[in-house]
């Protein structure tokens, strides 16, 4: 028997559901005379063409950290390059029997892939999947009529009622329990492997995110002991470091969602932190909500959640799109956001909403173009959250912003970056403007500062956008 553990979006050995099950099975059943064990990760070959280099760098840091952790218990981490189907086929072909363990993934394309893996494996063994990524496994929280929730607030209410949260059981995945079997590791010589240490990244050292469990845990702990106190007050201001910054870690699973909830719940005992923690927990529940949406409505992968909005005639002007991508729209808050994204692989949530709304409602460009551009640049790219955020902003999603409530980018800027601190950081051409002028520089100033004139007139475009939505609404 080959006991195989497949790390996917759970790049940690602590509090890991599938790993705890794997350890328990290996501990009880491993036969030193004939069994082998392996831990592996598969990196799809085309990942670089779609996902940004910054994200891959972060991933490699996580893998490196995981590699070193496994080493402490005597185990290797094999990092394969190729399609999952080919890798698993190879493992099956080279073993009499296989018992494969992993945590479930809920993205429509991953569900499809896992069905294929089941088919490949079924003659040779078992593919054992567990829920680890979210607290509420998609399908476990349903309306009374057994249909999925499509509105956030009642979902949240049921989530809090059902789980009756005090604390969540964390899983014992201590590798010491199976350390003695590290002498019996399986090595594949037939599959292409990646040496993550030899990979070179042509990136300037200006990234704010570092992969790995220690980093993720440090961020989480620090946030919950400091910034969470004012989270409800400051989370919308992009110039203030007011949020946790844990999204890339939650995505790759260097920290578990249970750890996030449990540490947050502990802080609710501190009265001064209560409001901030409650607001933060609500954000984690948005993640749970979007995961179950992606699971129940897989067509959102390339279509609007509200299907009639697939009929909107987007203008899809490529020149305007390029200006948006490059932060040259002449709307300072939008340009600051887009430049932050491209430079750092990150954008503050408030500005994600502003830039996404601007692309769809002011430039009339299909939200899928924006979703893809974010996917190419975000370190924390997460299908369910990205799609959810885009469809919310485009008003095509479930429980999204109504199409007639279009953000005014100037007012958003005045409200959430009143002194232009965020704008000045990413749009240095405007650094000499005062707080009044920076949100909407006048034309003379634009000329002297070499900053583009506004790409469109927001008020005109707002009317056109509303008409476009209205025309497909009946
Ligand atoms: C257009 C658009 C695209 C987005 N793309 C992504 C994406 O690819 N990956 C991603 O993780 N988030 C995405 N978000 C949601 C949100 O912007 C980020 O989760 C958040 O900015 C991450 O920062 P943080 O970890 O400091 O969040 P915090 O404010 O500290 O929140 C804690 C955690 O809660 C979850 N969360 C917070 N806000 C949301 C939200 N609106 N929807 C779902 N989950 C949320 C995240 O996991 C986050 O890490 C997107 C939002 C929009 C509007």
pLDDT in tens, 8-31: 999 999 999 999 999 999 999 999
> How does pLDDT run across 49-104, given as a tens digit for each residue?
556 889 988 999 999 999 999 999 999 999 998 899 999 999 999 999 999 999 99
Q: Which atom of ligand 1 lies at the shortest distance from residue 355's CA?
A: 1
Beta bridge partners of 5: 39, 101
| Closest residue to atom 20 of ligand 1, CA basis | 349
Which of 247, 353, 387 maximizes ligand 1 atoms within 8 Å of its Cβ, making it the mutation to test the pocket? 247
Q: Distance, CA 235 to ligand 1 centroid (Å)?
A: 11
Residue 416, CB-side half-sphere exposure with 13 Å CA sphere: 28
DSSP 3-state helix, strand, coil percentages of the chain (rounded to 5)? 55, 5, 40
Q: Distance, CA 53 to ligand 1 centroid (Å)?
A: 20
Q: Distance, CA 385 to ligand 1 centroid (Å)?
A: 6
Nearest to 8 by CA among 62, 54, 52: 62
First-last CA distance in the chain:
60
Alpha-carbon gap, residue 351 to 340, rounded angstroms: 10
| Closest residue to atom 36 of ligand 1, CA basis | 283
Which of 338, 380, 394, 399 maximizes ligand 1 atoms within 8 Å of its Cβ, making it the mutation to test the pocket? 380
- Ligand 1 binding pocket (C-beta < 6 A) is 235, 243-247, 250-251, 283-284, 286-287, 290, 349, 352-353, 356, 374, 378, 380-382, 385-386, 388-390, 393
Which of 52, 349, 388 maximizes ligand 1 atoms within 8 Å of its Cβ, making it the mutation to test the pocket? 349
| Closest residue to atom 16 of ligand 1, CA basis | 349
Nearest to 329 by CA among 298, 287, 299, 357: 357
Tokens for 254, please give them: 């260097």
> How confident is the model at residue 327, as a pLDDT?
98
Measured in residues, the chain has a length of 474
pLDDT values of the chain reduced to their tens digit, one per residue, 474 residues: 999 999 999 999 999 999 999 999 999 999 999 999 999 999 886 554 556 889 988 999 999 999 999 999 999 999 998 899 999 999 999 999 999 999 999 999 999 999 999 999 998 999 999 999 999 999 999 999 999 999 999 999 999 987 766 668 889 989 999 999 999 999 887 777 877 766 666 666 556 899 999 999 999 999 999 999 999 999 999 999 999 999 999 999 999 999 999 999 999 889 999 999 999 999 999 999 999 999 999 999 999 999 999 999 999 999 999 999 999 999 999 999 999 999 999 999 999 999 999 999 999 999 999 999 999 999 999 999 999 999 999 999 998 888 989 999 999 999 999 999 999 999 999 998 888 889 998 877 777 768 999 999 999 999 999 999 999 987
With 0-12 / 13-18 / 19 or more C-beta atoms within 10 angstroms meaning exposed / middle / buried, residue 49 is exposed
With 0-12 / 13-18 / 19 or more C-beta atoms within 10 angstroms meaning exposed / middle / buried, residue 324 is buried
Which helix or strand (DSSP H or E) is residue 427 part of?
Answer: none
> How confident is the model at residue 234, as a pLDDT?
97
Alpha-carbon gap, residue 134 to 132, rounded angstroms: 6
Tokens for 430, please give them: 């405007």
Q: Distance, CA 349 to ligand 1 centroid (Å)?
A: 6
Does the domain at residues 307-471 carry the CATH identifier 1.10.579.10?
Answer: yes
Alpha-carbon gap, residue 159 to 289, rounded angstroms: 9
Does the domain at residues 2-131 carry the CATH identifier 3.30.950.10?
Answer: no
Q: Distance, CA 100 to ligand 1 centroid (Å)?
A: 32
Q: Which atom of ligand 1 lies at the shortest distance from residue 370's CA?
A: 1
Ordered DSSP codes for 340-391: HHHHHS---HHHHHHHHHIIIIIS---HHHHHHHHHHH-TT--HHHHHHHHH
Q: Which atom of ligand 1 lies at the shortest distance from residue 284's CA?
A: 34
The Cβ of residue 121 has, within 10 Å, a number of other Cβ atoms equal to 19
The Cβ of residue 123 has, within 10 Å, a number of other Cβ atoms equal to 9
> Could you tell me if 85 and 6 are in contact, meaning their C-beta atoms sit under 8 angstroms apart?
no
Tokens for 27, please give them: 């501990």
Q: Which atom of ligand 1 lies at the shortest distance from residue 348's CA?
A: 21
Nearest to 64 by CA among 28, 2, 11, 121: 11
Q: Distance, CA 380 to ligand 1 centroid (Å)?
A: 8
Q: DSSP 3-state assignment of 436?
A: coil
CA distances from 3 to 36, 171, 380 (A): 6, 20, 31
The set of catalytic residues is: 283, 286, 314, 349, 367, 390
Which stretches of 30-151 are DSSP H helices? 47-50, 53-72, 84-93, 108-121
Q: DSSP 3-state assignment of 116?
A: helix
Helices (H) and strands (E) in the chain, counts: 20, 5
Which residues are CB-contacts of 290 (< 8 A; sequence separation ≥ 6)?
A: 384, 385, 387, 388
Q: Distance, CA 45 to ligand 1 centroid (Å)?
A: 27
> Could you tell me if 423 and 333 are in contact, meaning their C-beta atoms sit under 8 angstroms apart?
yes
Alpha-carbon gap, residue 10 to 220, rounded angstroms: 16
Domain spans of the chain, in order of start: 2-131, 134-167+212-296, 307-471
Which of 54, 134, 283 maximizes ligand 1 atoms within 8 Å of its Cβ, making it the mutation to test the pocket? 283
CATH numeric code, 134-167+212-296: 1.25.40.80
Q: How far is CA 23 from the centre of its chain?
A: 28
Alpha-carbon gap, residue 203 to 379, rounded angstroms: 13
Which helix or strand (DSSP H or E) is residue 417 part of?
Answer: none
Q: Distance, CA 113 to ligand 1 centroid (Å)?
A: 25
Q: DSSP 3-state assignment of 404?
A: coil
Alpha-carbon gap, residue 203 to 345, rounded angstroms: 11
């Amino acid at each position: 028997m080959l006991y195989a553990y497949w790390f996917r979006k759970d790049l940690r050995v602590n509090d890991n559901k599938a790993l705890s099950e794997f350890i328990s099975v290996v501990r009880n059943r491993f036969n030193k005379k004939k069994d082998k064990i392996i831990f592996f990760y598969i990196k799809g070959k085309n990942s670089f063409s779609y996902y940004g280099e910054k994200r891959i760098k972060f991933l490699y840091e996580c893998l490196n950290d995981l590699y070193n952790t496994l080493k402490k218990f005597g185990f290797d981490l094999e990092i394969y390059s190729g399609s999952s189907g080919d890798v698993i086929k190879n493992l099956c072909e080279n073993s009499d029997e296989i018992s494969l363990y992993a945590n479930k993934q809920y993205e429509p394309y991953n569900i499809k892939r896992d069905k294929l893996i089941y088919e490949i494996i079924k003659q040779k063994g078992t593919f054992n999947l567990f829920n680890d990524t979210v607290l509420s496994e998609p399908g476990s929280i349903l309306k009374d009529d057994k249909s999925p929730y499509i509105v956030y607030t009642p979902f949240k209410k049921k989530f809090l009622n059902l789980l009756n949260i005090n604390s969540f059981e964390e899983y014992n995945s201590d590798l010491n329990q199976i350390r003695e079997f590290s002498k019996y590791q399986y090595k594949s010589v037939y599959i292409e492997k990646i040496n993550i240490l030899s990979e070179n990244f042509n990136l300037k050292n200006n990234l704010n995110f570092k992969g790995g469990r220690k980093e993720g845990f440090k961020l989480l702990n620090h946030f919950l002991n400091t910034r969470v106190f004012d989270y409800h007050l400051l989370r919308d201001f992009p110039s203030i470091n007011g949020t946790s910054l844990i999204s890339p870690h939650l995505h790759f699973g260097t920290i578990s969602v249970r750890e996030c909830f449990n540490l947050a719940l502990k802080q609710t005992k501190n009265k001064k932190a209560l409001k901030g923690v409650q607001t933060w927990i609500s954000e984690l529940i948005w993640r749970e909500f979007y995961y179950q949406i992606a699971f129940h409505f897989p067509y959102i992968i390339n279509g609007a959640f509200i299907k009639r909005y697939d009929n909107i005639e987007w203008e899809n002007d490529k020149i305007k799109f390029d200006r948006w991508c490059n932060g040259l729209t002449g709307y300072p808050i939008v340009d600051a956001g887009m430049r932050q994204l491209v430079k750092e692989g990150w954008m503050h949530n408030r500005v994600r909403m502003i830039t996404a709304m601007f692309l769809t409602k002011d430039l009339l460009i299909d939200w899928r173009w924006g979703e893809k551009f974010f996917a190419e640049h975000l370190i924390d790219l997460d299908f369910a959250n990205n799609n959810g955020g885009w469809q919310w902003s485009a008003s095509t999603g479930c429980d999204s912003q109504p199409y007639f409530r279009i953000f005014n980018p100037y007012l958003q800027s005045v409200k959430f970056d009143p002194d232009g601190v965020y704008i000045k950081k990413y749009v240095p051409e405007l650094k000499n403007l005062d707080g009044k002028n920076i949100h909407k520089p006048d034309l003379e100033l634009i000329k002297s500062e070499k900053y583009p004139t506004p790409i469109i007139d927001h008020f005109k475009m707002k009317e056109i956008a509303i008409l476009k939505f209205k025309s497909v609404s009946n």
